[in-house]
C-alpha cells in the first residue's frame, strides 16, 4: 500500500464523521436528455461554495488544527480551492490561524465556525481551546504526524483522527477504546476475510522501559489475545497493531527495540506462535512523501 501526497484527493462522503461503517449511498438516477420538469437542477455557485465551506469546517473539526495540505486531503478539495475558502471563512470569523514552531501555518475553528457545523448537523458542536496548547507544547510534532497520517490514510480508508478519539467521537463513544488504552489513530482495513480495525500508536520519542511494556501489552492484547478472539470495536474486530514512525530511520530504531522484547535475532527462525503474533504487527513510516505500511517481521528481516 502506498499513499502519495501528490495524488488528487478523493471526494469524501457527506455523511457525519461520527457514524461508523456508513452504508454506501445508492447511485443517482441518470438525468434524461431533453430537459423538462424531472431534470435535476444544476446547483448554483452559492450552493457549491456552501458545500465547500462545510467540507473544510468538518475537516478542521476532525483534526483539531490543520495545515492546508491536511485540509485538502480530508475535505477532498484541491489546494487552490482550499486556500480560497479558508480566506473567505477567515473573513467571516469562522477560522483562526496560528503557526507551528516550525513556521508552518495551521487553521483552527472559531466559535462561529463551530456554530455553522451545529446548524449542519443539528447538534451542538463545541469549540475547545486545547489545540492552541498543543501548538505551543512539545507535543506539536506528535499531533502533526498524527494528522499527516490521518489525511493520507483517509484517501483509502475510513479513519478516526487523534482528536476524534480523544474527544470520544469514535465507534466506542469513549476515549478509552480498550480498558486503559487509547490509540493515536484508527483506520478500517478491507481484507478478503472481512473488515477490521488497525490500532496505530505514534512513536516519536524513546519510551521509558515501563511505558514500553505498556505498549507491548497493548500490542499483545490486540494481536495475540488470550481468549483467542480479537477485541471488538463496534461490530468489527481490531485486527492489527501498528507503530507509526516519522521516517525510515526512526522506523528501524523502533522495530529493533520491539523485536528485542521477544529476543528475536535477525537470522534465527521464529517460533510458530510468535510468528503468528508478529504477522499482525505493522510499522508505518514516511518515505519520499508517502505512507508505507510494512509487516514488522519482514521489515526487521529486510532493514534491521
**Which of the two residues, 38 and 266, has the higher pLDDT score?**
266
With a cut of 50, say whether residue 3 has pLDDT above it.
no
258: number of CA atoms within 13 Å, CB side?
Answer: 31
Among 17-31, 61-75, 211-225, 239-253, name the one with the lowest average pLDDT: 17-31
- Got the DSSP string for 140-157? HHHHHHHHHHHHHHTTTS
Write down the pLDDT at residue 25: 42
Give whole-number Cα distances, 167 to 125, 158, 170, 174, in Å. 12, 18, 8, 7
User: What are the tens digits of pLDDT across the range 154-202?
Assistant: 999 999 999 999 999 999 999 999 988 999 999 999 865 568 999 999 9
Confidence band of 6 (pLDDT split at 50, 70, 90): very low
**Using one digit for the tens of pLDDT, what is the confidence trace for 94-141?**
999 999 999 999 999 999 999 999 999 988 888 766 778 888 888 899
Signed CA dihedral, 85, 90, 96, 98: sign only = positive
Residues 48, 50: Cα–Cα separation, whole Å:
5
Q: At 304, list the grid cell.
A: 534491521
What does pTM read for this prediction?
0.83
Mean pLDDT over each residue of the chain, to the nearest integer? 85
Cell of 195: 473488515
Question: Looking at the predicted structure, is the pLDDT value of residue 23 above 80?
Answer: no
Q: How confident is the model at residue 288 (pLDDT cuts 50, 70, 90)?
A: confident
Averaged pLDDT, 141-150:
94
* pLDDT for residue 256 is more than 50: yes
Of residues 300, 298, 289, 291, the one with CA closest to residue 260: 300
95 C-beta neighbours (distance < 10 Å), count: 22
pLDDT at residue 33 tops 50: no
DSSP 66: B
Which DSSP string corresponds to 89-140? HHHTTSEEEEE-TTS-EEEEE-HHHHHHHHHHHTS-----SHHHHHHHSTTH
Name 237's bridge partners: 232
DSSP string, 34-60: T--TTSPPPP-HHHHHHHHHHHHHHHH
Amino acid at each position: 500500500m502506498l499513499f502519495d501526497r501528490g495524488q488528487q484527493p478523493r471526494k469524501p462522503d457527506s455523511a457525519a464523521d461520527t457514524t461508523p461503517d456508513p452504508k454506501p449511498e445508492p447511485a443517482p438516477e441518470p438525468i434524461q436528455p431533453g430537459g423538462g420538469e424531472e431534470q435535476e437542477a444544476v446547483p448554483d455557485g452559492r450552493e457549491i461554495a456552501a458545500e465547500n465551506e462545510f467540507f473544510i469546517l468538518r475537516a478542521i473539526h476532525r483534526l483539531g488544527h490543520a495545515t492546508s495540505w491536511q485540509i485538502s486531503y480530508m475535505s477532498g478539495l484541491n489546494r487552490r480551492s482550499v486556500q480560497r475558502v479558508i480566506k473567505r471563512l477567515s473573513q467571516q470569523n469562522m477560522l483562526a490561524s496560528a503557526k507551528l514552531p516550525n513556521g508552518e501555518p495551521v487553521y483552527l475553528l472559531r466559535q462561529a465556525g463551530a456554530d455553522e457545523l451545529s446548524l449542519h448537523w443539528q447538534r451542538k458542536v463545541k469549540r475547545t481551546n486545547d489545540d492552541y496548547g498543543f501548538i505551543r507544547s512539545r507535543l506539536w510534532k506528535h499531533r502533526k504526524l498524527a494528522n499527516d497520517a490521518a489525511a493520507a490514510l483517509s484517501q483509502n480508508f475510513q479513519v478516526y483522527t487523534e482528536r476524534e478519539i480523544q474527544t470520544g467521537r469514535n465507534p466506542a463513544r469513549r476515549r478509552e477504546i480498550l480498558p486503559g488504552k487509547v490509540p493515536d489513530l484508527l483506520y478500517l482495513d478491507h481484507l478478503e476475510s472481512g473488515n477490521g480495525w488497525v490500532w496505530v500508536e505514534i512513536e516519536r520519542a524513546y519510551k521509558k522501559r515501563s511505558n514500553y511494556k505498556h505498549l507491548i501489552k497493548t500490542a499483545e492484547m490486540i494481536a495475540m489475545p488470550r481468549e483467542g478472539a480479537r477485541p471488538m470495536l463496534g461490530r468489527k474486530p481490531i485486527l492489527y497493531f501498528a507503530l507509526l514512525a516519522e521516517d525510515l530511520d526512526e522506523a528501524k530504531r523502533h522495530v529493533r527495540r520491539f523485536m528485542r522484547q521477544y529476543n528475536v535475532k535477525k537470522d534465527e527462525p521464529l517460533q510458530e506462535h510468535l510468528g503468528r503474533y508478529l504477522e499482525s504487527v505493522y510499522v508505518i513510516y514516511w518515505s519520499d512523501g508517502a505512507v508505507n505500511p510494512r509487516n514488522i517481521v519482514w521489515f526487521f528481516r529486510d532493514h534491521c
